[in-house]
Amino acid sequence: MVNDTKFYIDGQWVEPITPNLFDVINPAVEDVAGQISLGSSADVDRAVTAARRAFATFSQTSKDERLALLRRIIDRYQARLDELACAMTLEMGSPITFSREVQATNALGHFKQMVEVLETYELERFMGGTLIRREPIGVCGLITPWNWPLNQITAKLAPALAAGCTVVLKPSEIAPLSAIVFTEVLHEAGVPKGVFNLVNGDGPTVGEAISRHPDIDMVSFTGSTRAGILVAKAAADTVKRVAQELGGKSANIILPDADLAKAVPAGVLRCFTNTGQSCQAPTRMLVHRSQRDEAVAIARQAVETVRVGDPLNAKTTMGPLVSKAQFDKVQGLIERGIQEGATVVCGGAGRPAGFNRGYFVRPTVFADVTPAMTIAREEIFGPVLSMLSYDSEDEAVAMANATTYGLAGYVQSGDIGHARRVGAQLRAGRVYLNGAPADQSVPFGGYKQSGNGREHGVFGFEEFLEVKAVLGYQTA
């Protein structure tokens, strides 16, 4: 693409101040899929200056003007959806069918959802004689990850634009190609100059510059807890708002009254979605000790339905991990699970049979995992499921909550009332009962070290608003 090595600043594609070429690797074949330039703090300064200048006018646009902009973006996005999906498949290995039907479609859904929110949201209301106004927070720095490249961008950008904020985006340098195509979509849709700016780069340079910048009013970050801590520390000196969606180690409690034949396969496949590279994946399956053998047998059968292969093949259901670094991390944790005594139900270390290149891993299920084991505590971010056994419901809840994370929790039961009672005890930002699907209109975010703030729907919209009280606005 002609714009790969450029940045988008103040409504146009510009050359980096100091070019610093970086290869984007196709993880399925380990070849170069594209090349970008990594930015510098000086590039961030240019982008922030443009965003600050644009905020003066864009923040004053009417609700109808912003709705019209969101609808134009939706139209142009739909016209290039296949191209966006292909870019994600090349940059991070998402199977093409999944890229089209889930990755790209979910990302578009955030703009559609934000149209619904903005149409009915009351930006002004009265408390007695005082006017309560919701106003755009200002210039926002968005720092997004590689695992859901467009979804995480649009989950932040759609509410930011709806609120009247201006933006500087740093996508992951590992998977930036879809963000470049998406930026072209925004340009085609007529986003005003300076309202949206793209600077590619790495976390220690561009991410740090965004977090520290005194003219950025808010940083919205999605990524690892380790990186999130660094962002928060860098932002602290300027007392800017920081919203974070971080790691997870979600538990899936399968209660004894659940239908194992349905609950176990659903849990396995949900854990393996996106090659396990999802922060809310149910990576710990808790089953009653009396049902251990039956659940393990069902899990083994479920893994046999997974089709690992070329992500460009429409029938592939699991592609590679995103990078060599991620491949090495997951392989190391699989080996740690074996060393610490967990039972390998299927999968294990190494590539799947027939693969001698690409960052493919064997879909792996461990049984007889104990809470003290590394694979029960650390976020693996690969297709690795840990099955733990419990003796009582109270023990299951305690095990589920015994983590520094709190992004999601899952409960399966044949009695919805039973599932509700157990779900109410989970310390997590989202709880899914009996295989409930995701919903982009309801809040998404974590407890504990899974972050702070919320994304999606009206809760995500309000993250980009300040609250102003105008006293004496109405007098008797």
CATH number, domain of 376, equals 3.40.309.10
Residue 199 and residue 331 in one domain: no
Q: Where would I find the H helices in 247-371? A: 260-272, 292-303, 324-339
Is residue 475 domain-resident? Answer: no
Q: Across-strand partners of 284?
A: 251, 386
Average pLDDT over residues 368-393: 98
pLDDT given at position 47: 98
Q: Token digits for 396?
A: 């299951």
Please report, to the nearest 10 degrees, the dihedral formed by the alpha carbons of residues 182, 185, 191, 192 taken in order. Answer: 90
For the stretch 37-71, pLDDT in tens is 999 999 999 999 999 999 999 999 999 999 999 99
pLDDT above 60 (res 476): no
User: Do 241 and 268 lie in a common domain?
Assistant: no
The rounded distance, in Å, linking the Cα atoms of 347 and 63 is 53
> How far is the C-alpha of 316 from the C-alpha of 274, rounded, in Å?
12
213 plus 228 within the same structural domain: yes
Can you give the pLDDT at residue 3?
81
Which of 138, 144, 137 lies closest to 198, judged by CA?
Answer: 144
What CATH number should be reported for the domain holding residue 232? 3.40.605.10
In a domain, 222, yes or no: yes
Residues 28 and 165 in one domain: yes
Is residue 111 in some structural domain? yes
* Shared domain check, 198 and 174: yes
Q: Are 320 and 195 in a shared domain?
A: no
Q: What pLDDT score was predicted for residue 475?
A: 76
Per-residue pLDDT band for 235 (boundaries 50, 70, 90) equals very high
What is the share, in percent, of the chain residues with pLDDT greater than 70?
Answer: 99
Q: Which of these is catalytic: 140, 165, 279, 346?
A: 279
Within this chain, do residues 327 and 187 fall inside the same structural domain, yes or no? no
Tokens of 1: 């693409």
Instruction: Give the model's pLDDT for residue 453.
Output: 96
Q: Give residues with Cβ within 8 angstroms of 400, minimum separation 6.
A: 251, 253, 284, 286, 409, 426
Q: Is residue 476 part of a domain?
A: no
* One domain for residues 319 and 363: yes
**Residue-wise DSSP of 189-233:** TTPPTTTEEE----IIIIIHHHHH-TT--EEEEES-HHHHHHHHH
Query: Residue for token digits 């009013």?
Result: 217
Sheet holding 12-14, edge to edge: 12-14, 7-9, 196-198, 166-170, 139-143, 218-222, 241-245, 451-452
Residue 46 in 3-state DSSP? helix
The gap from C-alpha 96 to its chain's centroid, in whole angstroms, comes to 19
Q: Are residues 96 and 172 in the same domain?
A: yes
Q: pLDDT value at position 194?
A: 98
Is 245 labeled as catalytic in the residue annotation? yes
Burial of 238 from C-beta contacts in 10 A (0-12 / 13-18 / 19+): middle
**pTM: predicted TM-score of the whole model, two decimal places:** 0.97
399-446 per-position pLDDT tens digit: 999 999 999 999 999 999 999 999 999 999 999 999 999 999 999 999
The per-residue pLDDT for 142 is 98
User: Could you report the per-residue pLDDT of 99-110, keeping only the tens digit for each?
Assistant: 999 999 999 999
Selected catalytic residue, list 91, 173, 245, 462: 245
Is residue 425 situated within a structural domain? Answer: yes
189-220 pLDDT, tens digit each: 999 999 999 999 999 999 999 999 999 999 99
Per the document, the length of the chain is: 476
Q: Are 143 and 80 in the same domain? A: yes
Q: Are residues 29 and 171 in the same domain?
A: yes
Instruction: Please give the tally of structural domains in the chain.
Output: 2
Residue 208 known to be catalytic = no
User: Could you tell me if residue 332 is inside a domain?
Assistant: yes
Which distant-in-sequence residues (6+ apart) come within 8 Å of 394 by Cβ? none
Range of the domain at 345: 251-445
User: Which element (helix H / strand E) includes 21?
Assistant: strand 21-26
248 burial level (CB within 10 Å; 0-12, 13-18, 19+): buried
Average pLDDT over residues 361-377: 98
Half-sphere exposure of 196 (CA within 13 A, CB side): 27
- Is the pLDDT confidence value at 347 over 90? yes
Q: Give the HSE-up count for residue 73: Cα atoms under 13 Å, Cβ half-sphere.
A: 28
pLDDT in tens, 2-18: 789 999 999 999 999 99
Compute the Cα dihedral for 111, 116, 117, 119 and give only its sign. Answer: positive
Which tokens go with 403?
């983590």
Does residue 111 sit in the same domain as residue 194?
yes
Classify residue 125: in a domain, yes or no. yes
For 176-198, letters b (16+ CB in 10 Å) and e give bbbbbbbbbbbbebebeebbbbb
Q: Is residue 261 part of a domain?
A: yes
Tally Cβ neighbours within 10 Å of residue 472: 8
